Amino acid sequence: MGDSHDTGVKTGGYGLLIISISLAIFMSALDGTIVNIALPTISESFGVSSGAVSWVATAYLLVMAGCVLIFGKVSDVIGFKKVFLSGFVIFTLGSFACGFLPEFLHSFYTLVGARAFQGIGGAMITAIAPAMVTAYIPMEKKGKAMGIIMTVAALGMAIGPTIGGVLTQYLSWHWIFFINVPVGIIAVLLGAKVIPASGGAQNNAGFDKSGAVLIFSGLAALLFFVSEGEALGWASLPIAGSGVLTILLLGCFVWHEQKTTDPLLELQLFKDRDFLVTNLIMSLVFFSFAGINYLMPFYLKYVQGYDTSTSGLILTALSFAMMGGGILAGILYNRTGGRILCIAAGFILAAGYFLMIQLHVNTTTGFVILCLLIIGLGLGLMVTPASNMIMNSVAMKYQGMVSSLTSLERFAPMTIGIAIFNLIFVEGMATIAAHRGITQDAPQTIKLQVLAAGFDLAFFVTFILGIIILILAFFARPKVHPDYLSGERNDEMMAGLI
């Protein structure tokens, strides 16, 4: 067969393996968003500007984006277990360093460096989680397992601000990092016990070092461009330079990957229409979700007038619906197939995004919660089958590579989406105000109407994206690579259940 990874999970070990993978994906996703709400407190603690303190969040995302594809390839070379355990050790040490060293050394830049170090570990464990499901979980259990893990990933992103706010308010900002330490220790001990030892399929002498440098630099430049563009000015030299650099580096990466014999990302896979469509769906789902996830707290606070804690409570409707949708998709996947689930999820998601356009100054809380529940259900139902369809469609030797690609398609569109939707909201609101001749001296009710109109415009864009996602879902056809259907492979997988 030539499989690169052993499937020898001990009897009864699948549940523990799923827990181990879920812990990893949850903590890495959580740390992508948990720190944002604590940034004002950190800024005051170190006496730095709001622009400077944003690097606490940006450093983590830049390193994650630049490294995730690299470690997906590394796992194909040296095996999943080594990458997973090493990644969680680095992530845990980085978390402790973020909480302890900046205060001990009285240095803000130590915190930024520790966050970058933590991002390396986050990239390692995030890159391979879907691949570990594909490699170690039997076919008849994959749908449910992927449903749990993808739901946990989305949940980590969604509830990060809530947990961060509670820890910062009632303990201190250090605890948004310290909370990872005991979880990390448990995950390392559990992973060492339940994850099968595996060897890579390839010799690391052929590792694509040039591709790694190009993709790391290109994605880092891209995320810097979108995350700092508004703060520094889109026409400023650093932003314009990073935009040009992004085009050059990613262009060189594509050219290089087509020429090298052992690419970091096998671009030939995208010649398969179904693989391309499903990956496009994943990217658009998380890009559209970024608009809702980022703008809703502002809508609830400034239009509806809720305080921070109440807004957080309302937003949990989205998280719980997403979790329920993911679990439901996992249960239904093997019965209905991925395509039917994706189409159903597309309809639900488009309906939820359409209802968001109806939000105004006098919208009831019940209607807001209904919108969030529908969107969360659609997201949960979509991500699980799409992830399974992507992972099951490629050969075993590409597991780590494609797993890291699906991870990149989660947080990179989220990061880019936040910048784009913020730009749509701000510029849209300014254009509407100018068109209506509304100034700062206008009555508060008029200002609220302009504010609500800005949200409407941004939410209308999410609705258009929802329609595109629905159309693409009709063209997404699941394929299962022969590596997962051969008699030998099935015998190996079934042996773990006996």
Interval 73-85 mean pLDDT: 81
Interhelix angle 273-298/365-392, rounded to 10 degrees, is: 150
CB neighbourhood size of 480 (10 A): 12
Cα separations in angstroms, 315 against 161, 297, 326, 349, 371: 10, 8, 17, 17, 10
Instruction: Name the DSSP letter for residue 302.
Output: I
Which residue from 352, 424, 408 is spatially nearest to 381, judged by alpha carbons?
Answer: 352
| 141's tokens | 């259990």
* pLDDT tens digit sequence for 356-371: 998 887 888 899 999 9
Task: Report the candidate in 123, 127, 125, 97 with the shortest Cα–Cα distance to residue 112.
Answer: 97
Residue pair 436/244 in contact (Cβ under 8 Å)? The answer is no
Helix (H, G, I), strand (E, B) or coil at 48: coil
Convert the pLDDT of each residue in 174-214 to its tens digit. Answer: 898 898 888 888 888 888 888 877 655 554 456 677 888 88
Lowest pLDDT segment from 82-91, 157-166, 326-335, 488-497: 488-497
Give the closest residue to 18 by CA, choosing from 133, 108, 100.
133
Question: Is the pLDDT reported for residue 372 higher than 80?
Answer: yes
Tokens at 308, concatenated: 């921070």
Kindly report the pTM of this predicted structure. 0.78
346: its two tokens: 């597309």
Which of left, alpha, beta for 233 (phi over 0: left; psi -120 to 50: alpha)? left
